[in-house]
Structure formats: C-alpha cells, structure tokens
Structure 1
Amino acid sequence: MKHVSILVPKSKTILSSVVGPYKIFKSVNDFFLQTGKSQQPFFNINLVGVDKDTVLYDGAFSIHCDATIHDIFKTDLIIISAVKPEWIAEGIKANYEFIPWIKHQRSQNHAEVASLCLGAFLLAETGLLDNKQCTTHWAGIDLFRQMYPKIEVLPEKIVTDQEGIYTSGGAYSFLNLIIHLIHKFCGQEAAVYVSKLFEIDISRDNQNQFAIFRGQKEHTDELIQKAQLFIENNVTEKVSVEELSGMLAVSQRNFIRRFKKATANTPLEYIQRVKVEAAKNALESTQNTINEIMFSVGYSDTKSFRTLFKRYTGLTPVAYKNKYNRELVSF
C-alpha cells in the first residue's frame, strides 16, 4: 500500500486540486478491489494540513483535513495542491511549515513529491527543484523564473518527471499528472480505466495552446515599456531590433540586454509572441483565411509563419482555427 499525503495549504487553496486527486486515487482503489486485482486498497490517502480545518472562497467551502503534518511521520507521495495566483508571496509565508516537513519526508523517507499548477512555487521553496526542470501555470512562468533562477522552466509541458519530483502545468492539467502517477505506480490498465472514467485526455502533453500572452509590463524600465508599446501598436508591420534601438537612441547590444532583463524575452521573441497572439485572436474570431491573417501580422512566408505559430502554440494555424474558432466549434 502506498501512502499519499494531499497537502491542503491555508486559505487560498484551489479546491479542485484537492478534490480531484482525492477522487481519482479513490477510484483506483475501487478498480483494484472490484476487479479482484487486490484484496486491499492500493493507496492510503490523507488530506494533510498545517491545521485541521481550512476555509476557502470567502467561507463558501471548507476542507477538514484528517491529519496534520505533525501526525504523518512517513509518507510515500506528497501532492502539493494549487494556490490562487494572486496569493503567491503571501501563500508561501502562510504555509512555510510545510517546507521542512516536505524536505524531511524526501531526505529521510525518500518520499516522491508532486506539485499541481502554482503549487510549484511552494515546491521550489524547498530547494528540491534546484537544477531540475519543472512546469507550472503559463500565467506564473515569468514570476517563477524571476524568483527561482536555478530551476529550468519548461512552459509548454503538461507534466515533468525527474528523480521522483513531479510538476504539472496550469489549472486542470493536474489531472494529466495524476494519470501519469497512476500509470507509473499502478500500470497502464488502471491509468486507462481512470482516464475513461473521468474523461481525461490521456495523450495531452502541451499547454502552449492555452497560454495568453499579455506582455511583461511589471517592470520599471520606461524605455523598454516604450519599445513594448511600439511593438504592440505596430503588429501589422515588420519591426526590427535595429529599428527599435535606433528609435530609442540606445545601442543595439544595450537595448537587447535591457529588454531581456525587463521582460525575460529577447526583443525578437517578444515581437514574435505579440504577432502570434494577434494571429490567435484572428483565428478564433474571424473567418479570414490563414494567408490573410498571416499578412495581417506582418508575415509573407507561409512556411515560416506556420513554424513560428506552432513553436509558440503547439498547433498549426489550421489546427488552432479548427479547435478554437467560435463559428466552427459546435457545443
């Protein structure tokens, strides 16, 4: 029997990231018992908090933990639930008691640790992700990179798996990580059963198609903010790094350095992401052809545009339009 500790952070926990794993692990237990593959449950599951009770969503919901970290002396798998994005700094501070407990379970009991969505921030605080790869919600990528430069972030990934440390992408993509863990611990048959029971797309491995690029404006470099505004206001034009640095009267080398420091993107990457986001919006909301949309964001080479679009979204322009266009999608 494998002991699972699903952590319940204080106050701003995302309820679904607690209930989802709990229900899925329970369903695996039912699968083993009902099929006669085992006479006892595969997982022993505890909801574990710093305190026994956590109130969520301004009192609309509450979670009663059946254990605290002081009750669990040994566990095999720790699930770090997701927290709300506006609560990162406050959430880490409020839940700091989890950190030495997680580190102890990892170092002394060889526990495996998985973070769901923005739970990666709490996992990163333990140091267990240092010099490893991880993923998290696309909306938290830039802040995560700033806070934890020793960690390699893979923003397109739905799941990462390194040496018993796991992370998942944004929001409900945690379901894919739970399926991954079930496949790893229980085998293909159990994983397929659960994916069918909960109607989870077991093959999904890229979250780029869901990302919305809003530009990184949370910095104080006014010159770079002017450059960003110019790029966003001239999405139909072919804007070059040379043109931008000349317009702002700084050397090209200095401009690139300052731009990367402020936005975590090179100027070229930023230009490309702005244009791809504009193309995505057009593909979602208009009946324009792919070529018309390509020309409208300043590209004239179909192959180059297709390659660029797929790099940032994981889908071709045609596939993206078929999936997200409001008039083509039927509900």
Structure 2
Amino acid sequence: MKDVAILVPESSVMQAIADPRYLLTAVNQFMAVSGKEPLFNVQLVGLKKEVILNDGLFTVHTDKQLKDVNKADIVFIPALAGDMPTAVAANQELIPWIVEQYDGGAEVASLCVGAFLLASTGLLNGKKCSTHWGFAGELREMFPEVEVVDGSIVTEENRLYSSGGANSYWNLLLYLVEKYTDRETAILASKYFAIDIDRNSQAAFAMFKGQKDHPDAAVRTAQEFIENNFNDKITVDQLADKVAIGRRSFERRFLKATNNSVLEYIQRVKIEAAKRSFESSRKNINEVMFDVGYTDTKAFRTIFKKITGLTPIEYRNKYNKLVLK
C-alpha cells in the first residue's frame, strides 16, 4: 500500500486537489474489480482541518494535518492560484514538511504551477522541472537555479516529478499510475478519464510572448523590430547594426535578456504568426509560409514541427476555427 499525501495549500486550485484523489481512488476500484488489493491510501493533508479556497467559494476538509503524518510514499503539490510570489509566501510553513518527506524517501510531484512551491523548497536546484508554458519565464526568474524544461508534459528527476500546464497534470498522474501498477491499468484509467496517455508535449498549446521584462533597452528595440517585421528576412547582423552593438555582444545580451538566441526568437515569432493564421484563415500552407517570411517549404515544416510538435497541416486541422473544405 502506497501512502499518498495530497497537500491542500492556501491559494491553491481546487480541481488540482480533487483530480488526483479521484484518479487514484478509481484505480483502487479498477484493481479491486480485477481481484487485486487496492494500492493507494489517499489522504488530503494540510496545516488546518479546513482550508478555505477561492475567497471562500470552496472549503476543503483535510483528512490529516501535517503534524499527524509520519511518513508518506508520494506527496502531491497541487497547482497554486493567483500571483505566484504571494501564493508561495502564503505556504512557507509547508516547505519544511515537504523537504522532510523527501529526505525520508518520499516521491514528490508538483502539478502545473505547483512547481513554484516545489521549487521554493530548494529540492529542484540543479534539476529539471516542467510547469505551465505561460509561467515558465516567471519560474526561471524566481528560481534561476532550476532547469525549466520548455514544453514538456512530464519531467522526472531523483524522485521529483513535475507536469506541464493545466490538464497536462493528468498525464503525470497516469505516468505514476503506470509506474506503480502496470501499463494495462494505466491504459484503462486513460480510457475511463478520456486522456491521451502518451501525450508528451504542451508545445502545440503554447503561445509565444517574448520576454520583455528586462532592463536592456537595446534588446527590447530588437525584439520589437522582429515582431513588427516578421514577414521579412531578418538577420542577426541587421539587428546588431540597428541597435549599434557588435554582433557577439548583441547575441550574448539578447540571450541573457530573453532566454532565446536571436535566431530562436525570430523563428518563434514567425511560427507564432503562422499558428494564428492557421487558426483563423483559409490560407493554405504555402500562403502562410510566405506570409511569415519563409520561402523554403522543408525548412518551414521542420521549424514549425520543432516548435509546436505538429506539422503545419496537423496544426491547421486541429485548431482551425473555420470549416475547411
């Protein structure tokens, strides 16, 4: 029997508390039906008997308080809500307990932006971590010693697990179910909850927004030029000349400020524009390709798939808002 502690932090997302309990309880039922012993002893754990969420909209009754939990095998940290620094600060009392459980052999899994609370423990320093694509930049900024993995659905390192954004945490839950039971049970759970069991990237859902919250005015000027002229062919030398900085110095400063090389930034801006066009227009692949400044079909397809995880045709078919005939 695995003792599972699902934390109930202040300022957390109700669904990210309820879903792991629901799934693991269902897995216990699947196992019972097949004549096996239930595997997970699932308990909601918090600092108080009752934790109020969403400004009083929900009240969660915990099964145990932290002081009453001697040892957990698995600890889940649900997604936090609202402003991340504020949410982390509100849950500082949970941090020593999480570290204590990990040091005692527990596996610790953060769901979506629960990664911020996990990172605040220091356990992720020097290790890989996933989170919601929209919060990756903020996580890097708050915790520079953590290696944030862009676009990943599930990340695992040294008994520490993290997931991508929003419903991506269901894939982490299935990943752990398969680890502790077997593939057959995980597939049954995926079918029951209608989850794509082998989805491994959130890249297709990501919307690229260049990081401009930095003090380098020259780099911001270059970013704005790229974003306003994505349909043209833009070179690094052209940008360096525009801001009157030597190429090597410009590339170094750009990477430091944006977490992207100049070429990566240009590519991501162009592909983001292509995605928007595929979503909202009837243009064909070549038309969109030319609109965003590419003339080589193979290069466009390769870069598009590298960034989104899908080919241009797959992306258009999946997300186009119009009926394509």
Q: Could you tell me which runs of 5 or more consecutive residues in structure 2 were left unpaired when the two chains were aligned.
A: none
Conservation of the 8 A alpha-carbon contact between 1:50 and 1:95:
no
Report the secondary structure of 2:144's partner residue.
coil
The amino acid that maps onto 1:191 is A
Does residue 24 of the first structure (1) align with residue 23 of the second (2)?
yes
1:127 shift after superposition: 2.1
Match of 2:114 among 105, 111, 119: 119
Report the secondary structure of 2:43's partner residue.
strand
Does residue 7 of the first structure (1) align with residue 7 of the second (2)?
yes
Q: Distance in 2 between matches of 1:187 and 1:248?
A: 57
Does residue 218 of the first structure (1) align with residue 213 of the second (2)?
yes
Instruction: Report the counterpart of residue 44 of structure 2 in structure 1.
Output: 47
Match of 1:88 among 84, 99, 113: 84
Does residue 281 of the first structure (1) align with residue 280 of the second (2)?
no
Report the secondary structure of 1:114's partner residue.
strand
Conservation of the 8 A alpha-carbon contact between 1:183 and 1:190:
yes
Q: Distance in 1 between matches of 2:49 and 2:239?
A: 56
Does residue 73 of the first structure (1) align with residue 70 of the second (2)?
yes
The amino acid that maps onto 1:318 is I
The amino acid that maps onto 1:102 is I
Match of 1:320 among 307, 315, 318: 315
Conservation of the 8 A alpha-carbon contact between 1:135 and 1:153:
yes
Matches within 5 A, 1:291-330: 291-328=286-323
Q: Distance in 2 between matches of 1:145 and 1:61?
A: 31
Q: Distance in 1 between matches of 2:188 and 2:158?
A: 26
Q: Distance in 2 between matches of 1:34 and 1:182?
A: 16
What count of residue pairs does the alignment treat as equivalent? 325
Q: Distance in 2 between matches of 1:26 and 1:195?
A: 14
Match of 2:94 among 95, 98, 101: 98
CA deviation map 1:226-272 (0-9, x unaligned): 11111111111111111111111111122222212221112211111
Q: Could you tell me which runs of 5 or more consecutive residues in structure 1 were left unpaired when the two chains were aligned.
A: none
1:328 shift after superposition: 3.9
Conservation of the 8 A alpha-carbon contact between 1:3 and 1:75:
yes
CA deviation map 1:117-166 (0-9, x unaligned): 11111111222222222211101111222233333222121111223211
TM-score, normalising length: structure 1: 0.95
Report the secondary structure of 2:9's partner residue.
coil
Q: Distance in 2 between matches of 1:225 and 1:139?
A: 20
Does residue 255 of the first structure (1) align with residue 255 of the second (2)?
no
TM-score, normalising length: structure 2: 0.96
The amino acid that maps onto 1:97 is E
CA-based RMSD of the aligned residues comes to 1.5
Percent identity, please. 48
Moved more, 147-156 or 250-259: 147-156
Report the secondary structure of 1:45's partner residue.
strand
